[in-house]
């Protein structure tokens, strides 16, 4: 199977090159035969890479330890669930996974792109094939070949890193990869629009959908990654501003900016240059993130090992950035705005400021991530740009951005009158101020949290007001009940109201983040029967009683488990178990250092988070760390709401929003009908 896989990689390399060449030449010379060949090449590329993926999976499931990759990432006793994820748990396999998924997206784009966007397809085929071919070439020449044979075949493999043996890690990398990879499609359409000079509004429609797909996958990937860090790493948090986390956040921020500014282009025909720059920038940042993750240039807890792969990505990034810049600059004269801004107090302007903040935040995260290198270059001093610095710099920016999240929907397009502003802001501002006063009276003095909760209430007020007004209008117009009217709003205007749901999700996430300001923790050494007490920020006193230690063997690990009885204000609320796991191979030999499994009791107000640090002198006397994390549940719930909102936006159907310069606006037509109905 390894030979078949290896041959498939070579076939994919050649087919990908062919697809890229025929796509570019066929597009430039308007030759249908070459265009068709480029299209066919995308399917052949996917087929070849699918064969490679299947070959590697078969090798993994057959425990073919003659392959370095299989021997280094799996063992005979690795649970089947994690055998699947072994495909992308290492550098080489993840490159293959990346290339295969990109080729799948490339093929799907060729199959499902609507007829009116067909002109872009040869270039889209060329670009997706070229990028996939680059990934294949990294595997073949870097070298990072998953089918590389080992010098000898061991009896058993080294096993998978225990921290990767978590359900979160089965879903987190593919989701993140799907997000990263699918950015190539909007990028390919944007480049195709630039190359074909067909820069009317049509390319936007194709790009927007794919950008939402990428944004959604990246969001899910980031959220599952946060959840994994929380339940698996044991430090009691979910975001540590690690370079690899930051690398995923950068394109997410840029795509979020695009998803807002694209509305300005759709409605007013403005910001064409800016929108194209955002799409190109998001893709370049995704490659930059891949470079950061795989080069080892910046120390990170979960980057791949330092390898020559990084140089390939750096070279690719530089060449791609230059190519993008040349094409973009050459086409700038074709990207003039169709209309001008009429007022600074308008939704267009508010979206511009929203974009400024999002891009500023992306720059800030990038700056912080690279600052240790920059400092070494400039002042010759190594420094650490840790979470306290990131928080100091980015929390104020995040709060301003949250505030703008509320302001955007309140300001009218074109020009907002004073009456309009007063009418729109009255309720949300009242809600925000009311929340601030309640919190101050309740004794909260943490500035960041006060602002987060108050601004969050303001944003919630704006969204509630939008839904209430829309539902009331439908009730007046069609006599619908409130619940049905809200459903109709969501169903008929998915982009707008789905977007509002995403805004609610952002509020929930900020509420969860702010809760961490009130975290309490303590360490204790307990014999069985002894208790430790810790007061949570919810005002309750929690008592943890150590019940004892048990040791037993599981499939691929030897477990040392501590059981604790938990009481809140003296009332029994359940038990928590936290473990130490020594992973072993099929022969019983330890494969990694013992890892920790956190015990978590999650609630709406607080999470009880217990970590078994270890045992004292080999006895049942154990050292524990107890942490009470407020409002963490809301982070996961916010993530869930965000995904629901994103899906509503993405779901096909609803009222078609006309793009400026393409058709008459159905919204205007609808408005005329409404006026007519009132006569």
**Of the residues 308, 396, 574, 670, which one makes contact with other proteins according to CB under 8 A:** 396
CA distance 462 to 252: 24
Q: Roughly how many angstroms between the first and final C-alpha of the chain, as a whole number?
A: 75
Among positions 495-524, residues that touch other proteins (CB under 8 A) are: 521-524
Rounded to a whole number of angstroms, the minimum distance from the CB of residue 655 to other proteins is 16
Site for other proteins in 236-265 (CB under 8 A): 236, 240, 242
Which residue, 21 or 623, has its beta carbon nearer to other proteins?
Answer: 623
- Is 673 an interacting residue with respect to other proteins (CB under 8 A)? no
Q: Is 389 in the site for other proteins (CB under 8 A)?
A: yes
Q: Smallest distance, Å, CB 617 to other proteins?
A: 6
Of 429, 408, 432, 425, the C-alpha closest to 503 is 408
- Specify the residue, 3 or 374, whose C-beta has the smaller distance to other proteins: 374
Q: Single out the residue of 640, 600, 643 nearest to residue 237, CA to CA.
A: 600
CB of 476 to other proteins, least distance (A): 11
Which residue, 55 or 166, has its beta carbon nearer to other proteins? 166
Q: Shortest distance, CB of residue 194 to other proteins, whole angstroms?
A: 24
Q: Quick check: 383 binds other proteins (CB under 8 A)?
A: yes
Distances (CA, A) of 316 to 133, 187, 321: 12, 15, 8
The nearest distance, CB 382 to other proteins, in angstroms, is 4
Q: Which of residues 264-303 bind other proteins (CB under 8 A)?
A: 299-301
| Residue closer to other proteins, measured from CB, 76 or 302 | 302
Which residue's CB is nearer to other proteins, number 352 or number 451?
A: 352
Do 623 and 578 contact (CB within 8 A), yes or no? no
Shortest gap between Cβ of 356 and other proteins (angstroms)?
6
447 binds other proteins (CB under 8 A): no
Q: Is 108 helix (H, G, I), strand (E, B) or coil?
A: helix
Helix H segments across 62-166?
68-73, 80-85, 91-112, 121-141
Which DSSP state fits 120?
A: G
Tell whether residue 409 is a contact of other proteins (CB under 8 A).
yes
Phi, psi of 566 (to 5 degrees): -120, 130
Cβ closest to other proteins, residue 61 vs residue 413: 413
The reply on whether position 549 binds other proteins by CB under 8 A is yes
357 binds other proteins (CB under 8 A): yes
What is the full DSSP assignment across 432-483? HHHHHHHHHHTT---HHHHHHHHHHHHHHHHHHHHHHHHHHHHHHHH---HH
**What are the backbone dihedrals phi and psi of residue 14, each rounded to the nearest 5 degrees, phi first?**
-70, -45
Cα 315 to Cα 312: distance, rounded to the nearest angstrom: 5
CA distance 351 to 251: 18
Among 79, 154, 529, 666, binds other proteins (CB under 8 A): 529
User: Stretches 131-139, 186-194, 346-354, 503-511: which one binds other proteins (CB under 8 A)?
Assistant: 346-354
Q: Toward other proteins, which CB reaches closer, 66 or 394?
A: 394
Site string for other proteins, 588-627 (x = CB under 8 A): -----xx-x--------------xxxxxxxxxxxxx-x--
Of the listed pieces 222-230, 247-255, 445-453, 463-471, which binds other proteins according to CB under 8 A?
463-471
Answer for which of 411, 505, 509, 606 binds other proteins (CB under 8 A) is: 411
- Each residue 192-231 as x (binds other proteins by CB under 8 A) or -, in order, gives ----------------------------------------
Answer left, alpha or beta for residue 569, where phi above 0 means left and psi between -120 and 50 means alpha. left
The number of residues making up the chain comes to: 679
Determine the size of the site formed for other proteins (CB under 8 A).
95
Residue 371 is a binding residue for other proteins (CB under 8 A): yes
For the CB of residue 548, give the shortest distance to other proteins in the complex, in Å: 9
**Binding other proteins by CB under 8 A: which of 47, 296, 387, 661?**
387
Q: Which of 394, 348, 370 is nearest to 253 (CA)?
A: 394
Q: Give the one residue of 167, 360, 603, 654 binding other proteins; rule: CB under 8 A.
A: 360
Nearest-angstrom CA–CA distance, 179 and 171? 12
Phi, psi of 444 (to 5 degrees): -75, 130
CB of residue 523 to other proteins, shortest distance in Å: 5
Asked if 646 contacts 498 with a C-beta cutoff of 8 angstroms, the reply is yes
Q: Is 582 in the site for other proteins (CB under 8 A)?
A: yes
Beta-bridged to residue 611, according to DSSP, are 625
Distance CA 261, CA 68 (A): 47
DSSP 563-600: EEEEEETTEEEEEEEEEEEEEB-TTS-B-S--EEE-EE
Q: Report the residue number, 374 or 438, with the smaller CB distance to other proteins.
A: 374
Q: Going residue by residue from 468 to 487, which x/- string records binding to other proteins, judged by CB under 8 A? A: -xx-----------------
CA 122 to chain centre: 29
Q: Does 340 bind other proteins (CB under 8 A)?
A: yes
């Amino acid at each position: 199977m390894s030979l078949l896989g290896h041959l498939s990689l070579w076939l994919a390399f050649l087919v990908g090159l062919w697809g890229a060449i025929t796509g570019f030449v066929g597009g430039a010379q308007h030759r249908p035969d070459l265009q068709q060949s480029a299209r066919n090449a995308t399917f052949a590329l996917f087929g070849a890479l699918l064969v490679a993926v299947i070959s590697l999976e078969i090798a993994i499931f057959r425990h073919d330890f003659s392959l370095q990759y299989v021997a280094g990432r799996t063992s005979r006793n690795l649970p089947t669930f994690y055998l699947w994820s072994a495909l992308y748990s290492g550098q080489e396999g993840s490159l293959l996974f990346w290339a295969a998924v990109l080729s799948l997206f490339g093929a799907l784009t060729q199959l499902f792109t609507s007829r009116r966007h067909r002109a872009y397809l040869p270039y889209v085929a060329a670009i997706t094939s070229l990028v996939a071919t680059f990934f294949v070439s990294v595997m073949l020449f870097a070298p990072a070949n998953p089918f590389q044979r080992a010098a000898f075949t061991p009896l058993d493999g080294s096993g998978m890193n225990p921290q990767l043996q978590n359900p979160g890690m089965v879903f987190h990398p593919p989701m993140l990869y799907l997000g990263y990879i699918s950015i190539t499609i909007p990028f390919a359409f944007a480049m195709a629009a630039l190359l074909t000079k067909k820069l009317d509004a049509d390319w936007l429609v194709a790009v927007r959908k794919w950008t939402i797909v990428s944004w959604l996958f990246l969001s899910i990937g980031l959220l599952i990654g946060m959840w994994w860090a929380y339940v698996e790493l044991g430090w009691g948090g979910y975001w540590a501003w690690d370079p690899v986390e930051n690398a995923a956040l950068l394109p997410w921020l840029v795509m979020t900016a695009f998803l807002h500014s694209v509305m300005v282009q759709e409605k007013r025909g403005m910001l064409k240059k800016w929108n194209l720059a955002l799409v190109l920038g998001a893709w370049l940042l995704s490659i930059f993130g891949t470079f950061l993750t795989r080069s080892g240039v910046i120390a990170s807890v979960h980057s791949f090992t330092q390898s020559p792969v990084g140089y390939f990505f750096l070279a690719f990034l530089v060449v791609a950035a230059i190519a993008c810049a040349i094409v973009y600059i050459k086409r700038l004269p074709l990207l003039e705005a169709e209309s001008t801004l009429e007022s600074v107090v308008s939704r267009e302007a508010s979206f511009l400021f929203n974009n400024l903040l999002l891009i500023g935040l992306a720059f800030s995260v990038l700056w912080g991530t690279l600052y240790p290198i920059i400092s070494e270059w400039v002042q010759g001093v190594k420094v650490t740009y840790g979470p306290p610095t990131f928080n100091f710099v980015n929390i104020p920016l995040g709060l301003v951005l949250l505030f703008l999240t509320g302001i955007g929907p309140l300001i009218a397009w074109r020009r907002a009158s004073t009456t309009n502003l007063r009418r729109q802001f009255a309720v949300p501002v009242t809600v925000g101020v009311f929340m601030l006063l309640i919190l101050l009276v309740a004794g909260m003095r943490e500035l960041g949290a006060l602002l987060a909760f108050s601004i969050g209430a303001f944003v919630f007020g704006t969204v509630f007001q939008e839904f209430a007004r829309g539902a009331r209008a439908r009730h007046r117009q069609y006599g619908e009940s409130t619940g049905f009217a809200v459903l109709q709003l969501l169903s008929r205007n998915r982009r707008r109201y789905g977007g509002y749901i995403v805004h609610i999700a952002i509020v929930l996430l900020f509420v969860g983040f702010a809760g961490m300001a009130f975290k309490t923790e303590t360490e204790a050494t307990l014999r069985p029967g002894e208790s430790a007490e810790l007061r949570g920020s919810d005002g309750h006193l929690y008592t943890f009683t150590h019940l004892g230690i048990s040791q037993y063997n599981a499939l691929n690990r030897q477990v040392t488990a501590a059981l604790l009885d938990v009481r809140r204000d003296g009332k029994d609320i359940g038990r928590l178990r936290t473990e130490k796991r020594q992973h072993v191979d099929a022969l019983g030999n330890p494969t990694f250092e013992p890892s920790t499994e956190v015990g978590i009791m999650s609630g709406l107000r607080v999470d009880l988070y217990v970590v078994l640090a270890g045992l004292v002198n080999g006895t049942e006397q154990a050292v524990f760390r107890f942490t009470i994390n407020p409002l963490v549940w809301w982070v996961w719930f916010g993530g869930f709401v965000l995904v629901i909102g994103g899906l509503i936006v993405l779901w096909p159907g609803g009222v078609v929003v006309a793009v400026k310069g393409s058709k008459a606006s159905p919204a205007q037509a609808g408005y005329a009908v409404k006026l007519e109905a009132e006569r």
